A and B are shown apart, each in its own frame.
Chain A
Amino acid sequence: MKSGRNGLSKHKKANSREREQFFDLRLYVAGQTPKSLAALTNLKKICTNHLDGQYRLHVIDLLQTPQLAQGDQILAIPTLVRKLPQPIRKIIGDLSDTERVLVGLNVRQNAEIK
């Protein structure tokens, strides 16, 4: 529903990101619940700070497109699904714990290198 590419990457980080794979992320929410809103805010922050423009984010509101829930086996809300790089990873919750989100997305080690 909402997608975009963040172009706020810093130049010195860009080189190391060259080797990185592209992140295809989907955030499943159900309406404007506090948890969903918190998750979206937290995710945007993480993307900005750690993914450096190498991502695409879809926010899917299941209240409007409930048929999409089955495809990604969504049970918990909110759920962040990393479609790419493979394998699929799921991070559930309001994404308030940035460290865990990064571990879940498997980008933490890269951040540490920086």
Chain B
Amino acid sequence: MRYNRNGETSRSAPQLEKSPTGVTGFDEVTNGGLPKGRPSIVCGGPGCGKTMFALEFLVRGATEFNEPGVLMTFEETADEMTKNVASLGFDLKDLAAKKKLVMDYVRIEPSEIQETGEYDLEGLFIRLQHAVDSIGAKRVVLDTLEAVFSGFSNTGMLRAEIRRLFRWLKDRGLTAVVTAEKGEGALTRYGLEEYVSDCVIFLDHRINEQLSTRRMRIVKYRGSSHGTNEYPFLIDESGFSVLPSTSMRLDHVVSTERISSGVKDLDAMLEGEGFYKGSSVMVTGTAGSGKTSLAAHFADQVCRDGKSCLYVAFEESPAQMTRNMLSIGIDLDKHIKKGLLHFEAWRPTQSGLEMHLLNVHKLVERYKPDAVVIDPITNLMTGNANEVHSMLMRLMDFLKGRQVTSYFTTLTNGGQAIEQTEVGVSSLVDTWILLRDIELNGERNRCLYLLKSRGMAHSNQVREFVMTKNGVVLLPAYVGSGTVLTGSARLAQEARERAEESSRAFETDQRRRELQRKREALESQIALLRSQFAEEEDRFSRLIQKDEECERRLAEDEAAMEKLRKVDSSGNGRTMSAGSGS
């Protein structure tokens, strides 16, 4: 796993040289590992994982960093140790055969030792030196050095020798891990921490509400910046893993790529395209409001797009889930068979929060999905709210860092303010979908709205959320007189509206016909007037023609008479013709 490495790039000054441990997450927390060539103390109560940590440091060093190591045990024999860690996949025998590891069990049996006079622990130094020289070791683990206090009575000498031992390790440039039991009111029972000034790591194993949680804290780390928080860690079949609480920077890569929500109507509310790839989506709702169905739609869509999806279910078994989703027309089984959908279901009470987080981390590592659905996160509320909050923050950061779209569902209790999630992660999510039930007229209807969706002009509508045989459909809810109508009330309202509409249409039609009639009547009148006018016009033009004809005839007659009379051009003749004409 890779986390954002804090502070590593921001410093330019030469840093203390570090020796990577290879322990998952630890090197991130310490910005590189344990101080190179110096002894570090790992302390804690019984069963806290000191030995595990030390061993993993050695084994990883030998296998991954080509740094052979010496394991000097004071409590367990080499054989016991080999068996103990075989379950974690560490083959100490094989490493020893390859000259990568030397195990030396130092047995201290007070009953067979008699002290007479002065002595020192030179034998220990000689053995250590011999072991280191035999394979050219770079790393040393002393587990548990304090056992020498049980074997020898001269504590003054022991302290001096331990001080000398740490000096000796330092002088030889050996990166060492010394484990120590937690003491009363002190980090270690014999105050070893006062001899080691470079790095002290405290491991803690506590039970909270019957669930065990392991915590790690770096008490001091001289010459290096380090995370000072308590970090949860786990020991499981792959060894020790520390979970850095959060990446301290917010520097996720962002994508403008969109990913469909699987519900067409919901996509439409999200600018018609859906969520941003790599964003975190949360669906909040009361019991039975359809959170899982919505999540199943999303998972289905991701798989339809040929991408892979991890579905972590805390409430339903995969079989039950597939059966139930068939009722709304989603065939998840198909995707599971294709290997696109990975279903993981476990009870949230099964383990502590860190385990859940790590499980999800591991599944993400294994399947490399494009989207992760966690349904529901509320069930993780077994620890205290702070822990859950920080865990979810880590999870979201982790998924965001990998550009995995995360989809969480959250259950809210009916009586609570719906805009407040129990786990208080609402500020962390990018898109928040709210499902709510509206009780009205003796029925309960589902509504959906987008409380927020960062970076897009999302719809502000409250839509009615209906589950059909073919999946979820969002209907525009009727909004009128200050209330939202849903269900049958909406249907009734719609019917009323339809009736009104049809009557309105009828009226309009009638008016239209009346207008038509009026137009026709008027037009016929116009036609009549036109024909009357034409008649008149005809008559008048005929009269005009007749008059003109008469005039022309008169003129002709006059001319003809003048020709007949052959009158001279005297006035007399003219008078005659005028007299005959009249």
- Return the CB mask of A80-108 against B: 1 if under 8 Å, else 0: 00000001111111111100110110000
The verdict on A28 contacting chain B, using a C-beta distance below 8 Å, is: yes
A17 to chain B, nearest CB (A): 22
Contact of B126 among A30, A92, A94, A100 (CB under 8 A): A30
Q: Could you tell me the distance between the alpha carbons of A39 and B122 in the complex, rounded to whole angstroms? A: 15
Contact segment of B100-108, B343-351, B547-555, B573-581: B100-108
Q: Are A91 and B104 in contact (CB under 8 A)?
A: no
> What are the residues of chain A within 8 A of B115 when measuring CB–CB?
91-93, 100
Q: For A101, what are the chain B residues with a Cβ–Cβ distance below 8 Å?
A: 114, 116
Stretch in A7-15, A48-56, A63-71 touching the partner? A63-71
B119 pairs with A70, CB closer than 8 A: no
Tell me, in angstroms, the Cα distance from A38 to B124 when the chains sit together: 20
Q: A67-B130, A69-B130 are in contact. Are A74 and B123 (CB under 8 A)?
A: yes
- Cβ A79 vs Cβ B123 within 8 A: yes
Question: Are B112 and A96 neighbours in the complex by a CB distance under 8 Å?
Answer: no
B123: contacting residue among A39, A62, A89, A104, CB under 8 A? A62
Which of A38, A73, A77, A97 is within 8 Å of B107, CB to CB? A73
Which of A66, A87, A88, A95 has a CB less than 8 Å from the CB of B127? Answer: A66
Question: CA A48 – CA B117 in complex, angstroms?
Answer: 20
As a 0/1 sequence over residues 109 to 144 of chain B, the CB contacts with chain A under 8 angstroms (1 = contact) are 100111111111111101101100000000000000
Contact A75 B114 (CB under 8 A): no
Is B116 in contact with A75, judged by CB distance below 8 angstroms? Answer: no
- Number of B positions contacting A (CB below 8 A): 25
| Interface size of A as a range | 35 or more
> Is the CB–CB distance between A87 and B112 below 8 Å?
yes
**Measured between alpha carbons, how far is A48 from B361 in the docked complex, in Å?**
72
Which A residues touch B129, using CB under 8 A?
66
Query: Is A59's CB within 8 Å of the partner chain B?
Result: no
Q: Known contacts A62-B126, A66-B127, A67-B130; is A73 also within 8 Å of B117 by CB?
A: no
In contact, A30 and B122 (Cβ under 8 angstroms): yes
CB distance from B46 to the nearest CB of A (A): 23
| Interface: B148 (CB within 8 A) | yes
A33, A75, A100: the one contacting B121 at CB < 8 Å is A75
Q: Assuming A95-B116, A95-B117, is B126 touching A73 (CB within 8 A)?
A: no
Is the CB of A111 closer than 8 A to any CB of chain B?
no
Instruction: Check if B127 sits within 8 Å of A69, measured CB to CB.
Output: yes
Q: Which residue of B lies closest to A94 (CB)?
A: B117
Q: Is the CB of A75 within 8 A of B130?
A: no
User: Whole-angstrom distance between the alpha carbons of A28 and B151 in the complex?
Assistant: 18
Question: Which of A39, A62, A63, A66 has the most CB atoms of chain B within a 10 A radius of its CB?
Answer: A66
Q: Which residue of B lies closest to A95 (CB)?
A: B116
CA–CA, A104 to B116, complex, Å? 9
B462 to chain A, nearest CB (A): 78
Could you say which residues of chain B place their CB within 8 Å of the CB of A62?
Answer: 122-123, 126
- Indicate if A35 sits at the interface (CB-CB under 8 A): yes
Nearest to B152 among chain A residues (CB) is: A76
Q: Which of A32-62 contact B (CB under 8 A)?
A: 33, 35, 38-39, 42, 62
Complex Cα distance, B116 from A38, in Å, reads 12
For window 74-114 of chain B, which residues contact chain A by CB distance below 8 Å?
Answer: 104, 106-109, 112-114
Please, which residues of chain A bring their CB within 8 A of the CB of B127?
A: 66, 69-70, 74-75
Whether the Cβ atoms of B123 and A69 lie closer than 8 Å is: yes
Contact A93 B117 (CB under 8 A): yes
Task: Tell me the smallest distance from the CB of B491 to a CB of chain A, in Å.
Answer: 88
Distance A28 CA – B117 CA, assembled complex (angstroms): 15
Residues of B near A78 (CB, < 8 A) are 119
B112 touches A103 (CB 8 A): no
Contact indicator B119/A35 (Cβ below 8 Å): yes
Q: Which 8 A-B pairs have the closest CB atoms?
A: A104-B114, A93-B117, A66-B130, A77-B122, A94-B117, A96-B117, A74-B123, A93-B116
Q: List 16 additional contacts besides A79-B123, A87-B112; criterion CB under 8 Å.
A: A35-B117, A42-B117, A62-B122, A66-B129, A66-B130, A73-B108, A75-B127, A76-B113, A76-B120, A76-B152, A77-B122, A88-B112, A90-B114, A94-B117, A95-B116, A104-B114
B residues neighboring A (CB under 8 Å): 104, 106-109, 112-124, 126-127, 129-130, 148, 151-152
